Structure 1
Amino acid sequence: MQNKRVHLVLLIIVIIVFIWSAIKPVSYYSWVLEVSPAVASLAVFLFLYKKFRLTTLSYTIIAFVTILMFIGGHYIYSNVPLFDWLKDTWDLKRNHYDRFGHFMKGMIAIVIREILLRKTLLYKGGWLNGIVISMVLAIAALYEIVEWLFAMLAKGGRVSKDFLGTQGDIWDTQWDMFLSFAGSIIALLLLTKMHDQLVKREIGLNPNKMKKEEQE
């Protein structure tokens, strides 16, 4: 019951940020492009909540990453005020919110890890971690491909430029994928032990030996 309350609070916070994000964003076209993946993912997890409930850690990560995307959609990633302030204060060459966002998106490694532990024959260990990291990289690459395809179809323009968010860096795509990769490794290093404990306590499963019925 307590876990459900925490999950409800997380959902309410996400909804509040979503509503705020939708109120007078810098560009509604850019806003739709940026928040759509987060809204679609959130809808899937809500639909599966009763049938396949995740741990509180996974839902916290989902909520946090979703909020980051809503903030980026509202301001446009390259114009988030706090990171503009950091840019001016530290004399940086660019607004780094997008890179911060891609790094934090690497935390979805924990969500992917939980799904694989519970729905495949994989146990905790090197193979599991390797596959998780590879999947994070695949998602990061897919996102960059979507951005590229949109830019090609839109044939330039302000919205395309804002959505790509390269800020003049020819290596921006590579940086984004690398930071998601690095974020996934750090998330696994720091959060695996906590995740295993929550899987045992909240789901009732041993990550070293999954119950047969959970794999069917």
Structure 2
Amino acid sequence: MDNGNILKAMLVAIVSAALIVSGIAPYERLTWLMEVAPVLIALPLLLVTRKSYPLTTLLYLLIAVHALVLIGGGAYTYARVPFGFWLQDLLGTVRNPYDKLGHLLQGFVPALVAREILLRGAYVNGRRMAGFLCICIALAISASYELIEWAAALWMGQGADEFLGTQGDVWDTQSDMFMALIGSSTAIALLSGWHDRQLSRLRSA
């Protein structure tokens, strides 16, 4: 087993272990299920497609980090994650900013996922156009998630408060999408070169 496969196996083990531990005694069971639902969908999908459609190591790593952030939010609820309170003290914010970290990654990681699919499938010509479309796709995903939160609020009423994690912020939806914009733009600006090199090695393999 080469180093890349060892890393992927380690990532699967870490995410799986974190998921299991988080589900033992989460703060609120339904909130946990709703928060970790993307992980419950993505993890089996990535395992099934690991040979037919393997991703770059960079993308697997980013997806794992995003999964761990989602799992942490599910276990504690976003407003109560201890790491968020540490960030709150460090940054001097008025609320636990862990939710904003999650939405930053909600832009950062999907933008790279979209870029990998678009470039590998030759669905778009030109790196600049690919970057623009990836940011658009990430924002569309962010907007869709906000619609899901709205539907949850209508369905559950006050029971959705832990899932929404607004912490009294009336502009929470807008700031969530802004964080996704920052995340997706940063990912495209900083990681495109590294991503291109990994895509080249993947094609060679």
| TM-score normalized by the length of structure 1 | 0.89
Q: Aligned letter for 2:24?
A: I
Q: What's 2:7 paired with?
A: 6
Q: Does 1:25 align with 2:26?
A: yes
8 Å Cα contact 1:55-1:203 kept in structure 2: no
In the alignment, the residues of structure 1 paired with residue 119 and residue 16 of structure 2 have an alpha-carbon distance, to the nearest angstrom, of 29
Q: CA deviation at 1:89?
A: 5.7
| Corresponding residue SS for 2:70 | helix
4+ residue segments displaced more than 3 Å: 88-91
User: Percent of pairs identical after alignment?
Assistant: 38
- The answer on 1:87 being equivalent to 2:88 is yes
Q: Aligned partners of 1:192 and 1:136: how far apart in 2? A: 15
The answer to which structure has the higher helix fraction is: 2
Residues in 2 aligned to 1:61 and 1:89: alpha-carbon distance in whole angstroms: 24
Worse overlay, 27-36 or 124-133: 124-133
**TM-score normalised to structure 2 length:** 0.93
Q: Could you list the runs of 5+ residues in structure 2 that have no partner in the other structure?
A: none
Q: Quick one: which amino acid aligns to residue 64 of structure 1?
A: V
Moved more, 103-112 or 70-79: 103-112
Q: Distance in 2 between matches of 1:114 and 1:92?
A: 35
Shift of residue 38, structure 1, vs aligned partner: 2.0
Counterpart selection for 1:125 from 117, 127, 133? 127
- Tell whether 2:115 aligns with 1:113: yes
Q: Distance in 2 between matches of 1:9 and 1:196?
A: 24
Q: Identify the range of structure 1 (88-97 vs 182-191) with the bigger mean alpha-carbon deviation.
A: 88-97
Residue matched to 1:134:
136
The two structures, once aligned, show a CA RMSD in angstroms of 1.5
1:66 paired with 2:67, answer: yes
> In the TM superposition, what whole-angstrom CA distance separates every residue of 1:36-61 from its partner, at most 9, and x where no partner exists?
12211222222211110010001001
Which segments of 5 or more consecutive residues in structure 1 lack a partner in the other structure?
A: 206-216
Distance apart, 1:119 and its partner CA: 1.6
Count of aligned residue pairs for this structure pair: 203
Q: Counterpart of 1:214?
A: none
Amino acid aligned to 1:85: W
2:147 to 138, 145, 152: 145
Q: Greater Rg, structure 1 or structure 2?
A: 1
The verdict on how the C-alpha distance between 1:65 and 1:89 changes in structure 2, with shifts beyond 3 A counting, is: closer
